[in-house]
Chain A
Amino acid sequence: MAHDAAIPTAASLDTEMPVRRPVPPVALIPPPDLDQVGREFRAEYEAGRERHSHFDELRMILLRFPAALRAADGMYDLIMERGLLDRYLKEAIFVTCSGVRGCGYALAAHGRWLTAHARMAPSEVEALGQGADLARHSESDRILLEFARKVAAAPYRTLERDVEALRTAGFDERTIVETLTVVSLSGWMNGYAAALGLDAGDVSSTIGS
Chain B
Amino acid sequence: MALLPYPKMDDLPGDVRRHFEQFASDHGRPSLLRWMLGWSPAASEAMEGLYHPIFTSGRLDRRLKELLFVAASEQRRCFYCMGGHSRFLVNEYGYARDDVKRMRRGEAIEDLDPREHALVLLTRRAAADDGEVTAEDIERVHAHGWDDDSIVEALSAVAQAFFTNTFAQATRLEDDIESSEGLDGYF
Contact = CB atoms under 8 A, between A and B. Distances in A.
Interface of A: 28-30, 32, 61-62, 64-65, 67-68, 70-71, 74-75, 78-79, 82-83, 151-152, 155-156, 158-160, 163, 173-174, 176-178, 180-181, 183-185, 187-192, 194-197
A152 B131 CA distance: 15
Given A68-B159, A75-B50, A177-B37, A28 B135 contact: yes
Interface of B: 3-5, 7, 36-37, 39-43, 45-46, 49-50, 53-54, 57-58, 77-78, 126-127, 131-135, 138, 148-149, 151-153, 155-156, 158-167, 169-172
14 contacts: A65-B149, A67-B57, A68-B152, A68-B156, A70-B53, A83-B42, A151-B166, A155-B169, A178-B43, A181-B42, A191-B127, A192-B156, A194-B126, A197-B134
A89 to B, nearest CB: 15
B59 to A, nearest CB: 8
The SS class assigned to the A binding surface is helix
A176 B39 CA distance: 9
B158 A173 contact: no
A152 B170 CA distance: 9
A88 B106 CA distance: 41
Contacts of B50: 71, 74-75
Contacts of A61: 152
A186 B160 CA distance: 11
A195 B155 contact: yes
Contact of A188 (B138, B160, B170): B160
Given A64-B152, A78-B45, A194-B132, A181 B40 contact: yes
B40 A188 contact: no
B162 A65 contact: no
B58 A192 contact: no
A65 B43 contact: no
Q: Most A CB atoms within 10 A — which of B45, B53, B170, B171?
A: B170
B54 A68 contact: yes
B114 to A, nearest CB: 21
A200 to B, nearest CB: 15
Given A158-B3, A191-B162, 10 more contacts: A65-B149, A71-B156, A177-B4, A183-B166, A184-B166, A185-B163, A187-B166, A188-B163, A195-B133, A197-B135
Given A158-B169, A195-B126, A28 B138 contact: yes
B9 to A, nearest CB: 15
